[in-house]
Amino acid sequence: MPDTTLRLANGGIDLETKELRGPSGTVALTPRQAAFLEFLGSRPGEIVVADEIRTAVWPDQQHLSAGSLHQVAFESRKAMAEAGLDATALVTVARKGYRLDLADKPSPAAPVKEATAQGLSARRKSTALAVALILLMVAASFAFERWKLRQKVAELCRDGFALMTKGSESRLARANELFRDALALDPGSALALAGLAEASARFGGPVPKVLVSGSEISTFQQLAREAVRRDPDCGRCVAVLGFIVGNRDFRIREAVPLLEHAVSLEPRAWLYRVWLAQYQAALGKLPEALEGADAAMRLAPLETSAIASKVSILYFLGRYDEALRLADANIATDPQSQATYHWRSRTHLVRREYPQYFVDRGAEMAIWSGWTPEVRDEHVHRNTSLPPKAALEFVLADTASLRVSTMNGPCGAWCWGTGTEPSPNWKKPQPAVRILSFTSRWTPSSRPSAPSPAFWPSCGSWDWNRPGE
């Protein structure tokens, strides 16, 4: 049997008995009210115009006025209220008609409004999401470009530092260019600034013009200090500062703690240990220096620069045979190791092995200056053909021309021997003569283990006829 009840929110309209049933009880409908509500209930939620209602419900009473129809609607609401039903379910739509909202067939107006609101909300959400996605894409693109820039800067710095370990003039010049390119891409790069300071200091040219806070930096040390200021945790920056303080400013005692700090920041950086070992040797701390050189070799067993550092420490210790054996093996591995040729030539010089000294000195200068093999061989042949006294004079002149530093020539021996800082006059030829006189008195059996400043006055004179004394 079909259901003849129109369900409202809290009751219903029984079409069979023509009664309203609600919380307050049952209320009987008049025939007009029953017909009126039944017709609207057949089209729940729709607005039905008055003429259509009159034609469908009372076809034989077309004369029924609008006021009469309105009266029927009014009485129907009153009856609904008496039964305790929600009278607002019967809606009068001005100048249009009437609508009955059933519980199981809600008014389409509410869904339309709700759908409209939901549509607007969805569109707003979509717009906000689209804007957020665009902003995210822009940020991601910017971050990616920044990442690519940093990668390029890191690559330039890596290539520059790799070139500097080879130690030739042309490589240092190229490294200098790479660090300048890195700074052009990222002016705030502490690593690029440290690399430029190191390359320029090694190359020995003028200080690069770099503006910091509107002021031009005028020294290599200022470049390195600015790099450390930008990134205090950059081990290479701190190490470069220590290298420059010792190598360019000759403040060895100040350089050592800087390099120790750099090692603590990057314990696996073998180069920092090499620099630290060389400066420890310059201060007479040879056991610590040898330990540092060994540590560097353990970290980088194939790095010829680390091996050359140990050769230099063995040289300072007077263990010449060991120094030569290690230098020979290192040069066999890397014939372009300038530092190894340098310390092997110094070892030959102390042992009075002048022909070998000239050969190694020629190789060292050839690597540094980019000499062709022919020029190098001519240099070696010319100097090995000199008489002994002329050879010694050339050695003195050659030694005097070396740039003064703890990394080059017997000057490192001088710093180690006295434990003091060199004076500005050290760049003049006379101290170089004294160094050669001093080192020429050493022999494997008589070399003093820790020569004191008191020994220096006896080195002022040199008897060319008695070079062994």
Q: What is the mean pLDDT of residues 28-53?
A: 85
397 SS3 class: helix
Range 313-326 average pLDDT? 92
Query: Given this model, what pLDDT does residue 324 score?
Result: 94
Q: Dihedrals φ, ψ of 226, to 5°?
A: -65, -40
Residues 156 and 197 in one domain: yes
**Please, where are the H alpha helices in 249-387?**
252-265, 270-282, 286-299, 304-317, 320-333, 338-350, 354-369, 373-384
With bands split at pLDDT 50, 70 and 90, how would you rate the model's confidence at 36? confident
Q: How confident is residue 459, by pLDDT bands cut at 50, 70 and 90?
A: very low
- Specify whether 74 is located in the same domain as 93: yes
* 399 pLDDT more than 90: no
Average pLDDT for the chain: 75
390 pLDDT band, cuts 50/70/90, is low
3-state SS record for 373-396: HHHHHHHHHHHHCCCHHHHHHHHH
Which pLDDT belongs to residue 421? 35
Whether 236 and 139 map to the same domain: the answer is yes
pLDDT for position 456:
28
Which of residues 453 and 341 earns the better pLDDT score?
Answer: 341
pLDDT-above-70 percentage for the chain: 70
Closest C-alpha among 362, 397, 366, 408 to residue 381: 362
- The domain boundary residue, chosen from 254, 270, 291: 254
Which residues, 6+ apart, have CB-to-CB distance to 170 below 8 Å?
A: 370
Exposure b/e, 200-228, CB count within 10 A at least 16 = b: bbbeeeebbebeeeeeebeebbbbbbbbb
For residue 218, the enclosing domain spans: 109-254
Q: DSSP secondary structure string, 403-427?
A: PPBTTBTTHHHHHHHH-SPPPGGGG
Q: What pLDDT, on the 0 to 100 scale, is given for residue 261?
A: 94
| Cα separation values, 313 from 145, 232, 247, 407, Å | 47, 30, 17, 11
Say if residue 385's pLDDT is above 70.
no
Helix (H, G, I), strand (E, B) or coil at 303: coil
Q: Where are the alpha helices (DSSP H) in 17-108?
A: 31-41, 50-57, 66-82
Domain boundary among the residues 190, 223, 254 is at 254
Do residues 94 and 185 both lie within one domain? no
User: Distance between CA 413 and CA 399 in Å, rounded?
Assistant: 13
* Residue 69: both structure tokens together: 């129809």
User: Is 239 a residue whose pLDDT tops 60?
Assistant: yes
In a domain, 203, yes or no: yes
Q: What per-residue confidence (pLDDT) applies to 311?
A: 92
78 and 66 fall within a common domain: yes
Calculate the alpha carbon distances from 206 to 200, 219, 408 in Å.
7, 9, 20
pLDDT, greater one: 422 or 90: 90
Task: Choose one of 219, 254, 289: the last residue of a domain.
Answer: 254
Q: Which residues pair with 25 in a beta bridge?
A: 22
Are 114 and 241 part of one and the same domain?
yes
Helix (H, G, I), strand (E, B) or coil at 125: helix
- CATH number for position 132: 1.25.40
| Position 265 pLDDT exceeds 80 | yes
Return the minimum-mean-pLDDT range out of 27-31, 91-95, 438-442: 438-442
| Residue 465 pLDDT exceeds 50 | no
The answer to whether position 26 is within a domain reads yes
Looking at the fold, whether 128 and 19 belong to one and the same domain comes out as: no
Range with the lowest mean pLDDT among 99-103, 153-157, 261-265, 452-456? 452-456
Asked if 301 contacts 330 with a C-beta cutoff of 8 angstroms, the reply is no
Residue bearing the bigger pLDDT, 391 or 409:
391
State whether residue 432 is helix, strand or coil: helix
- Whether residues 85 and 125 fall in one domain: no
Average pLDDT over residues 306-330: 91
- Counting the structural domains of the chain, the total is 2
Sheet (strand 90-93) strand order: 48-49, 97-100, 90-93
pLDDT on residue 111: 53
CA distance 234 to 222: 16
pTM confidence score: 0.54
Q: Is residue 315 situated within a structural domain?
A: no
159 within a domain of the structure (yes/no): yes
Tokens 């230099």 sit on residue: 312
Identify whether residues 113 and 102 lie together within a single domain.
no
Residue 271 domain-assigned (yes or no)? no
Are 164 and 52 contained in the same domain?
no
Does residue 93 sit in the same domain as residue 129? no
Establish if 265 belongs to a structural domain: no
- In this structure, the answer to whether residues 95 and 182 fall within a common structural domain is no
Q: Which residues pair with 8 in a beta bridge?
A: 11
Residue 15's pLDDT is 84
Question: Which pLDDT belongs to residue 315?
Answer: 92
**Highest mean pLDDT, choosing among 128-132, 429-433, 444-448:** 128-132
**In 165-266, where does DSSP find H-type helix?**
169-185, 190-203, 220-230, 235-247, 252-265
- Is residue 407's pLDDT more than 70? no
* Least confident among 41-50, 144-153, 198-207: 198-207
In a domain, 46, yes or no: yes
Q: What pLDDT score was predicted for residue 213?
A: 62
3-state secondary structure of 250: coil
Looking at residues 42-58, what average pLDDT do you find?
83
pLDDT greater than 50 at residue 278: yes
Asked if pLDDT for residue 413 goes beyond 50, the answer is: no
Residue 26, domain CATH = 1.10.10.10
25 is a domain residue: yes
220: pLDDT confidence band, cut at 50, 70 and 90? Answer: confident
Q: Give the residue with greater pLDDT, 373 vs 82.
A: 82
pLDDT at 458 over 50: no
pLDDT at residue 113 in the model: 52
Q: Comparing C-alpha atoms, which of 457, 405, 409 is closest to residue 436?
A: 409
Burial of 363 (0-12, 13-18, 19+ CB in 10 A): buried
Mean pLDDT, residues 25-31: 88
Task: Give me the pLDDT at residue 235, please.
Answer: 93
- With pLDDT > 90 as the criterion, what percentage of the chain qualifies? 17
Tokens encoding 314: 């063995």
